[in-house]
């Protein structure tokens, strides 16, 4: 009887030790395992950053799929920036072709200066304020309304895009109405944190593309 009681006591003590060890293990191991499962996964949507294209372009590593080909991954301009540049070129030409004899040259240039770099705006301002031109427009009571259409992308560089843009000018001069069209090469370039028209010339005159 005494031996059996002793065995039961030893067995009970052994079970207590085993349960204690298991309890300690679960107490120590469970928090680590729980932290792994609670670790936030990286978001599939990148955090918002400065607007504009990635530089260099992100490139394409997978096989090209003609039905789902993103050309902007190979260009130094994002889709949004490319569209902004195209809109800028079009609006600039339309504004360039719009003027009146009874408005001051400063008013005319105010419309262009918001779209162009300071250097180009200054150059165009000097041309618009030329005494001979101002006098002719006033004498002939010239009124011109411009519009523009985007024709083609001529060149894409790291910092600039050259668009071919056709300007259309419906004009009243000396009481006679006429319509004139002319194609221009318009260079839109990065200027600080924005895009501006950097250079502007007749399309057949040619002009440098990249601005540095």
In a domain, 63, yes or no: no
Domain membership of residue 164 as a residue range: 72-205
In a domain, 42, yes or no: no
In a domain, 65, yes or no: no
Instruction: Give the residue from 47, 46, 71 showing the smallest Cα distance to 58.
Output: 71
In a domain, 154, yes or no: yes
In a domain, 108, yes or no: yes
Residue 182 and residue 167 in contact, taking contact as beta carbons nearer than 8 Å: yes
**How many domains, the chain?**
1
In a domain, 29, yes or no: no
Q: Going residue by residue through the chain (212 aa), what tens digit of pLDDT does each one get?
A: 444 555 555 555 554 444 444 444 444 444 444 433 233 223 232 333 334 444 567 788 888 888 888 888 889 999 999 999 999 999 999 999 999 999 998 999 999 999 999 999 989 988 989 999 999 999 999 999 999 999 999 999 999 999 999 999 999 999 999 999 999 999 999 988 899 999 999 998 855 444 44
CATH number at residue 95: 3.10.450.230
In a domain, 194, yes or no: yes
Q: What are the strands of the beta sheet with 176-191, ordered from one edge?
A: 99-100, 143-156, 160-173, 176-191, 194-202
In a domain, 161, yes or no: yes
Please report the DSSP string for 61-79 in residue order.
Answer: -SPP-GGG--GGGGSSS-H
Residue 137 contacts by C-beta under 8 Å, 6 or more apart in sequence?
Answer: 99, 100, 101
Distance CA 103, CA 175 (A): 18
């Amino acid at each position: 009887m005494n031996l059996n009681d002793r065995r039961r006591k030893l067995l009970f003590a052994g079970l207590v030790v085993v349960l204690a060890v298991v309890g300690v293990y679960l107490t120590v191991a469970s928090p680590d395992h729980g932290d792994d499962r609670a670790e936030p996964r990286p978001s599939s949507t990148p955090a918002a950053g400065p607007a504009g294209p990635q530089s260099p372009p992100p490139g394409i590593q997978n096989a090209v799929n003609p039905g789902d080909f993103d050309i902007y991954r190979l260009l130094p301009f994002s889709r949004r920036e490319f569209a902004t540049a195209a809109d800028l070129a079009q609006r600039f030409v339309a504004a360039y072709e719009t003027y009146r004899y009874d408005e001051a040259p400063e008013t005319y240039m105010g419309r262009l200066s918001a779209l162009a770099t300071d250097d180009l705006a200054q150059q165009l301002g000097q041309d618009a304020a030329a005494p001979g031109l101002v006098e002719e427009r006033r004498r002939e009571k010239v009124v011109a309304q411009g519009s523009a259409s985007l024709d083609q992308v001529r060149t894409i560089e790291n910092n600039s895009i050259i668009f071919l843009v056709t300007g259309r000018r419906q004009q009243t001069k000396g009481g006679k109405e006429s319509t004139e069209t002319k194609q221009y090469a318009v260079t839109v370039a990065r200027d600080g944190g924005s895009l501006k028209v950097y250079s502007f010339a007749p399309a057949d005159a040619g002009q440098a593309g990249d601005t540095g």
